[in-house]
Amino acid sequence: MVRILLASLVEGGHVVTRPPVARAHLADKEILEEVLNGLRAKFG
């Protein structure tokens, strides 16, 4: 039932579909720590 409803919404132009976005790589822990240290230095 959900697929039928979704198909009707797509056909009617009420819902736009697109392919999934590729997963981003996780940020390096050292970079995140440096950013956090910089924020702490700037904002206390």
Quick check: 17 and 10 in contact, CB under 8 A? yes
Indicate if the pLDDT at residue 24 is higher than 90. no
Indicate if the pLDDT at residue 14 is higher than 90. yes
DSSP string over 14-43:
SS---PPPPPPPPPPHHHHHHHHHHHHHHH
Indicate if the pLDDT at residue 37 is higher than 90. yes
Q: How far is CA 36 from the centre of its chain?
A: 21
- Tokens 């590729």 belong to 22
Local confidence band at 33 (pLDDT 50, 70, 90 cut-offs)? very high
pTM equals 0.43
Distance between CA 17 and CA 8 in Å, rounded? 12
Distance between CA 24 and CA 33 in Å, rounded? 19
